[in-house]
Amino acid sequence: MKLELIPVIELPTFKYKDLEQVTDVKAKRKLLIERNYSEVHKLKPLNEIQYKISEISDVDLLKAIELHISDLPIKDSCALFGGYALKVNDEIILHPQCCGLLSEIEDWKILLNEDFKPFYLKECHPSPKFCKINDEIHIECNPDETGSFEPKTQNMIIVKHDSLMIALNELLTELKKLSERLNRIYPSENNLDVSKILIWNE
């Protein structure tokens, strides 16, 4: 069983007044992506609203950062919206949920502790619950007052702890490279490490 954790983001868009009358949500989203980004429309989204960061061009990733922080100083911004999709073999079995952030990597890192206590991801909703039972990680994906998991997810996902640790360590290596990429493409003042804000929430 091959496990992979894929960093994805939900791309922010500038809202155009002439599209306010478009009632078809998918069609409107497609139009907004086409207007806001130069190449994203050529990509296949992971789900209806999230894209693999590794597939987004530097130009479009910079645009996403600029739209995300809007008129705030970047130091006052939160991490990019998105999170980490869990892929088993060729299937995504768990997608980041509403209001998830890249900074949830700090929650995922709890799994590196052999004796962690059950926990939820702090930002997204609904949030999966992680428990360790013997050598397995049990991920409970139950609906809550905010709704059900989207896309539809199994109520219980069970994976081997050691396999998930391999995937998590590979993800951390990928995020170090992504940190370098963000710092390269975003023109910050005073050599600010923007990745600490946009990924690590430091």
Mind listing the pLDDT tens digit for each residue in 61-112? 999 999 999 988 888 999 999 999 999 999 999 999 999 999 999 999 999 9
Overall pTM surpassing 0.85 (yes/no): yes
Q: Which secondary-structure segment (H or E) carries 130?
A: strand 129-133
Give the Cα separation of 182 and 185 in Å (integer). Answer: 5
- Please say whether the beta carbons of 93 and 188 come within 8 A: no
Which residues constitute the domain of residue 92? 3-198
Residue 16, pLDDT score? 86
Mean pLDDT, all residues of the chain:
94
| Cα 133 from chain centre | 26
- Please list, residue by residue across 45-71, b when 16 or more beta carbons sit within 10 angstroms of its beta carbon and e when fewer do: bbeebbbbbeebeeebbebbbeebbee
Q: Does the pLDDT value for residue 190 go beyond 80?
A: no
Residue 48, pLDDT score? 83
Q: Does the pLDDT value for residue 191 go beyond 90?
A: no
Residue 202, pLDDT score? 81
Q: Tokens 């139009």 belong to which residue?
A: 31
Question: What's the average model confidence in pLDDT over 168-195?
Answer: 93
Q: What are phi and psi of 166, to 5 degrees?
A: -60, -45
CA angle 102, 175, 163 (to 5 degrees): 95
> What is the count of structural domains for the chain?
1
**How many Å from the N-terminal Cα to the C-terminal Cα in the chain?**
34
The alpha carbon dihedral of 26, 28, 29, 30 has a sign of positive
Answer with the residue of higher pLDDT: 16 or 107.
107
